[in-house]
Amino acid sequence: KNQAAEYYGFYNMLGKFAAIIGPALMGIVGLVTRRMLMPASPTTEQLITIGRLASRWSIASILILFVVGAVLFYFVDEEKGRQQVQYLAGD
């Protein structure tokens, strides 16, 4: 029963990690995309186009996190999890 607090602590830590890694990933991808696509002396139209592309790529980069989560969930044993919950609940 003492493990319940550990699980909640781990869950809380993952939430804080996600709050940092998501925006950081979006920012890094946006900056890298802009730097790669930016010509030496861009026109106003090029700036707008590059900004839109960088924004789209940075939002799409979050898809990586969803794919990693889906792969992790694939390996979760639901029956074992139910048994552990029943054990921790004392049923």
Q: What is the rounded CA–CA span in Å between residue 12 and residue 18?
A: 10
Express each pLDDT in 27-37 by its tens digit. Answer: 999 999 999 99
Report whether pLDDT(10) > 70. yes
Domain count along the chain: 1
Pair 10, 26: CB distance under 8 Å: no
Distance CA 46, CA 90 (A): 64
Average pLDDT, the chain: 89
> How far is Cα 24 from Cα 56, in angstroms, rounded to an integer?
15
Domain span holding position 34: 3-89
| pLDDT at position 86 over 70 | yes
Per-residue pLDDT, averaged over 22-45, amounts to 93
Identify the pLDDT of residue 2: 66
- Dihedral (CA of 69, 72, 73, 74) sign: positive
